[in-house]
Amino acid sequence: MNELVRSTASELAALIHSGEVSSAEVTRMHLERIAAVDPEIHAFLHVAGDAALSTAAEVDAALAAGEQPRSPLAGVPLALKDVFTTVDMPTTCGSKILDGWQPPYDATVTARLRAAGVVILGKTNMDEFAMGSSTEHSAFGPTRNPWDTRRVPGGSGGGSAASLAAFEAPLAMGTDTGGSIRQPAALTGTVGVKPTYGGVSRYGLVACASSLDQAGPCARTVLDAALLHEVLAGHDPLDSTSIDEPVPAVVDAVRRGAQGDLRGLRVGMVKEFAGDGYQPGVQGAYRAALDQLSALGAELVEVSCPHFDYALAAYYLILPSEVSSNLARFDGMRYGLRVDNGAATAEEVMAATREAGFGAEAKRRIMLGTYALSSGYYEAYYGQAQKVRTLISRDFTAAFTKADVLVSPTAPTTAFPIGEKVDDPLAMYLNDLCTIPANMAGNTAMSVPAGLAEEDGLPVGLQIMAPALGEAVMYRVAAAFEAARDAAEGGPLFRRVPGLEVPA
Amino acid sequence: MNTISRDEVAHLARLARLAVTEDELDTFAAQLDVILASVARVGEVAADDIPPTSHAVPLTNVFRADEVRPGLTQQQALSGAPATEDGRFKVPQILGGDE
């Protein structure tokens, strides 16, 4: 494997900006890597080779003309989740109903990446409309986990996470509604960050559940995630929920954290996220991470968040309710698929189109939401779930008086075999047990590689949660932990991904 | 006892404009029943006096100056349409024959 594709984004940026290597060369190496391994991994739904090389050439030309890099990541390639609109590439959201759709506008995230000179390699696979925890609910076939290609990479952003672990891209974009950035990061041994709700614009992000969706960075290192975070984040007048506050200084926080001193910092262990139901190897890696944090000088305290036990149930009422409303826009009239099957009326065409265009999980959630919102059930289901949401936020508020950050395993298990849970919705939903509370309350949270599970040698993630706009302290802890873990284990976890070499 | 019947699922599918098949009705009825039985746990929480949260951050209306800004052109707006005619979206008949 070419060493350039094993490099981190910050290393590549340094090489490109110093003129040692061109962005075109870096881009070409990644496109070659994609061509070699993606037939097996299937992280990408669309590869935009020509557009990527042309962006890279522009960055190279500007640098050659003596211009300053447009951003600290100018010229570095990135894999974009296929839920962000792009004028020059299809945007399918992993759904047949949008197969081949080319949007007439760019998402704000897309526009900011372009303005920063980031090279977009293509669009990554995902569970349909970001609903799923394995990427098996993509209409275009599953993505495989580079650590073991018989297993899932997590979801919904399995394509983005797998592209990082397979060294197809050094950076990727995700969206996290209930864990779709953090859980795939955990299952692939990569880093994934869900910013504070409103921290990154949702304009042009095809909606799953609007009150929970949040876009964020995915990378192989904490520093790379922070560099991307600063490119993405910030107020956007096109998103009414966008926060009009300064972006937390996460890159500085990472540099401070990497010095390895967490003295005076209180780390809260969430009592509800441990014990039965957690795979032994996940528990082992989690305990080792706690020891590591303690060795860095952090004070460990146990915190209880009793309503987190009800977060999953409340989430699977609130999310489908919002989904049933958001997905009503796919009606076969203005864009996307239209199936008429000889139907005469608009209503019949809509029903035939949606039946043919949506997969099983989308249909389940649409019907679940329709049920939860229907008269007679509204108070008992949706209304009660919204009250539980309040109690979850209050649990966080109380916990953050006792601790600066909270920690837990990111997911209860390591990567599971493809096919194991796809027909058992409830078993699939349990993957998001630990990640959902942060979406409900809107605070920030991330997953950082914690190590490998003893019994299966697969990656485990440590989840770090911080208050709203508390990204700096969260990144600081993550960077300190990453540096200590890498030093103890003789290098970053991603160096241990099986090579995926293609026979010559 | 089932929380949701096959007929109720058929009704939901109609409301949600999903022309589901007979086989799907059987599968979805069983699956939705299991999911609803599980999420009904929210009812165990004593929350009568708790205000609901609809959004993670308080929502306030956002105003902007009433100035003309560029939007999509007609061609862009129609670019993804399944059918167009005379620069408009072409859609099937909205009302049934008897109405």
Domains of chain B: 6-44 (1.10.20)
Closest C-alpha among A228, A216, A386, A371 to residue A314: A386
Measure in Å the smallest separation between the Cα of B1 and chain A Cα atoms: 17
Contact A204, A91 (CB under 8 A): no
Q: Which of A180, A201, A324, A408 is catalytic?
A: A180
Distance CA A56, CA A118 (A): 8
Contact A204, A453 (CB under 8 A): no
Inter-chain CB proximity A334 and B83 less than 8 Å: no
Domain ranges of chain A: 3-308+389-491
Contact B59, A241 (CB under 8 A): yes
Closest C-alpha among A129, A337, A95 to residue A213: A129
First-last CA distance in chain A:
12
Measure in Å the smallest separation between the Cα of B13 and chain A Cα atoms: 6
The DSSP line for A441-467 is H--EEEEEEEEE-TTT--EEEEEEEE-
One pLDDT digit (tens) per residue for chain A, 504 residues: 689 999 999 999 999 999 999 999 999 999 999 999 999 999 999 999 999 999 999 999 999 999 999 999 999 999 999 999 999 999 999 999 999 999 999 999 999 999 999 999 999 999 999 999 999 999 999 999 999 999 999 999 999 999 999 999 999 999 999 999 999 999 999 999 999 999 999 999 999 999 999 999 999 999 999 999 999 999 999 999 999 999 999 999 999 999 999 999 999 999 999 888 899 999 999 999 999 999 999 999 999 999 999 999 999 999 999 999 999 999 999 999 999 888 889 999 999 999 999 999 999 999 999 999 998 889 999 999 999 999 999 999 999 999 999 999 999 999 999 999 999 999 999 999 999 999 999 999 999 999 999 999 999 999 999 999 999 999 999 999 999 999 999 999 998 998 766 544
Does residue A294 have an active-site annotation?
no
Of A102, A313, A440, the CB nearest to B38: A313
Structure tokens at A451: 């190590």
Does residue A156 have an active-site annotation?
yes
Inter-chain CB proximity B92 and A211 less than 8 Å: no
Residues of chain A contacting B58 with CB distance shorter than 8 Å: none
Sign of CA pseudo-dihedral A122, A7, A40, A184: negative
Of the residues B24, B42, B90, B93, the best mutation for testing chain A's interface (the one with the most A CB atoms within 10 Å of its CB) is B42
Distance CA B47, CA B31 (A): 28
Measure in Å the smallest separation between the Cα of A314 and chain B Cα atoms: 6
Does residue A95 have an active-site annotation?
no
Inter-chain CB proximity A316 and B13 less than 8 Å: no
Distance CA A240, CA A65 (A): 39
Distance CA A146, CA A369 (A): 34
Distance CA A280, CA A455 (A): 8
Class of domain A3-308+389-491: alpha beta
How many CB pairs below 8 Å do chains A and B form together?
184
Of the residues A310, A340, A371, A430, the best mutation for testing chain B's interface (the one with the most B CB atoms within 10 Å of its CB) is A371
Long-range contacts of A338-345 (CB under 8 A, 24+ apart): A338/B82, A338/B83, A340/B92, A343/B92, A344/B92, A344/B93, A344/B96, A344/B97, A345/B92, A345/B93, A345/B94, A345/B95, A345/B96
* Contacts of residue A334, Cβ cutoff 8 Å, sequence gap at least 6: B80, B81, B89
- Helix residue spans in A199-345 (DSSP H): 222-232, 250-257, 280-295, 311-326
Compare all CA atoms of chain A with the CA of B20 and give the residue at the minimum distance.
A355
Inter-chain CB proximity B17 and A426 less than 8 Å: no
Structure tokens at A22: 């061109």
Of the residues B5, B17, B79, the best mutation for testing chain A's interface (the one with the most A CB atoms within 10 Å of its CB) is B17
Structure tokens at A268: 């809260």
